Amino acid sequence: MSKLVLTRTFLTEFGRRPLNLILLVVVPVLFVALTAGALADFAEAIGGIGDSELLSGPTAGWAASFLAGVSGFFHVLGARAADSRLVTAGMARSRVLAARLASGTLLAVVAAGGALVALALRTGISDPLRAIGGTLMFALIYLGIGVLIGAVVRSEVNGSLIVVFVWMLDVFLGPAMGGGDVLVGRFFPSHFVTLVMLDAVSGHAGPIGDLGWALVWVVGSLGLAGLVFWANTGPVRVIDHGRRPGAWRRLAAGLRAGLRDYRRNRAMWVLIVLLPVFFISLSFAVTPDQPAPVELVEGGETMIRILSMADVHGAIMVPITIAFLAGLAGLFVVQGSLQADGRLVLAGFRIREVLAARLGVIALAALLISAVSLAITAVDFAPADWAWFIGGNLAVGATYGLIGVLVGAVFGRLGGLYVMFLLPFIDVGLAQNVMFSAAPPEWGAYLPARGSVRILVDAAFTPTMDELGALALAGIWFLAIVAAAAWVFGRRAVAKMSLP
């Protein structure tokens, strides 16, 4: 079998779920179209780079890199057994590797193309060579990272969290978003690529320059990924992994089983704890103490107050982190147990009991994520009203945990991860983010986190609770998503009842 035929086979395998291919184009288009302008304004405010079109350029790279990394990860993880069987049948590992990288590169190019088209329509491209080359370098670096993680990590949850972990630190603390020159940021994957796209000179690139180091990252990530993939794709060794297959007792048993399953996955919990620690603490470190106007309601009156950008950043980073991680928890907790849930229903469990058990696991994960995020924030920032600030963040976690259930049921694991990258970023990171403007945009009122974020922003900077309308909105969203999640979960559990 030639490399070309094998590459086409891998792409056909990926395309068996057409929705994944659609999302591969739609997600970067939406991401760039909705975020380029706002993120450019924010980066300009704190980064000191004046060309708005150049500032918008990295947004295409951010979208393409995330999708390339996730695609590369699932592309390798989902076919690990098949690749090992091909090697066992006599195919050279180098040929399997070349086909995987070629097919992954084509997927990365599709994502980069969609992002560049959206960038051209949204803000224009003043330097096409710089934008196209930079976006492709972003995508290829993260393709290598995704393939590397897929070759080493055997858990979809852990691998996805690692990709998200690396991407979030890289983007939010990089030279375009974070501004300035933090020593640790020089070791992030896209540091030099971003500087090339911004036409900024780092001053620490040495003789080969920023472009040289960017190319080193491209070649190095793909080369290291290839070596690790080659080493981990050997002849298959068959191992038989056996599966072990009053209302309150059944609910408690289901909850214990779910917690036991995820308690064993220590790596997942470590990642859930580490991401908020690094993400939030480093966000404080890179944010300058500049004035930022914020619209607040106090004593029934709407006013504009001038606050420290560092404090505003600290307040908004918590729900962004919680939304990302709680959404992934909801996505994978339910996706990873669909067949088991169908068997539980056959064994006599009611669907609502199985759902309650799974939601209990998601709730505990959201509580842990929120507790860690709030504890890290408390080191550098103290809200005016801790009780409502905590409540608003817990509402974000509960809402996005349930959204993860819905998204996973509709889009599957890979498509769901694409959507759970886009939705929290657009909703909490942009549409509700008071850093970008004194008041969030009106269209953000139609997104799930509006009420919850307004509550926590009010609690962060005013001593009294004045956002009663936001409280009602958050409650309506939560109840609506609970009902939708219960309906979708019930249909999925019944559909899985007939599977072995």
- Place 267 in a pLDDT band, splitting at 50, 70 and 90: low
| pLDDT mean over 380-396 | 92
To the nearest 10 degrees (0 to 180), the angle between helices 52-77 and 191-198 is 150
Backbone angles phi, psi at 56, to 5 degrees: -75, -20
End-to-end CA distance of the chain: 33
Whether 139 shows a pLDDT value over 90: the answer reads: yes
- Higher-pLDDT residue of 348 and 307 is 307
Residue 174: CA atoms inside 13 Å, Cβ hemisphere, count?
A: 27
Q: Quote the mean pLDDT of the chain.
A: 79
- Place 471 in a pLDDT band, splitting at 50, 70 and 90: very high
CA dist., res. 481 & res. 443, Å (int): 19
Residue 133: CA atoms inside 13 Å, Cβ hemisphere, count?
A: 15
Q: Are 10 and 79 contacting, i.e. CB atoms less than 8 angstroms apart?
A: yes
> Which residues lie below 8 Å from residue 43, measured CB to CB, with a gap of 6+?
49, 55, 176, 177, 179
Question: For residue 147, which of 103, 192, 114 has the smallest C-alpha distance?
Answer: 103
- Place 499 in a pLDDT band, splitting at 50, 70 and 90: very low
Question: For residue 290, which of 40, 51, 52, 45 has the smallest C-alpha distance?
Answer: 45
In terms of pTM, does the model score above 0.85?
Answer: no
pLDDT tens for 3-37 read 565 556 655 655 566 666 677 778 888 888 777 76
| pLDDT mean over 112-134 | 87
pLDDT tens for 321-352 read 899 888 888 887 766 655 566 566 666 667 66
| pLDDT mean over 48-64 | 72
- Place 133 in a pLDDT band, splitting at 50, 70 and 90: very high
pLDDT tens for 160-175 read 878 888 888 888 777 7
Longest CA–CA separation in the chain, Å: 75
| pLDDT mean over 362-372 | 85
Check residue 205 and report its DSSP letter: S
Question: Which pLDDT score is estimated for 224?
Answer: 94
| pLDDT mean over 311-330 | 86
| pLDDT mean over 52-74 | 82
pLDDT tens for 412-439 read 777 888 888 889 988 998 888 887 777 7
CA dist., res. 427 & res. 405, Å (int): 17
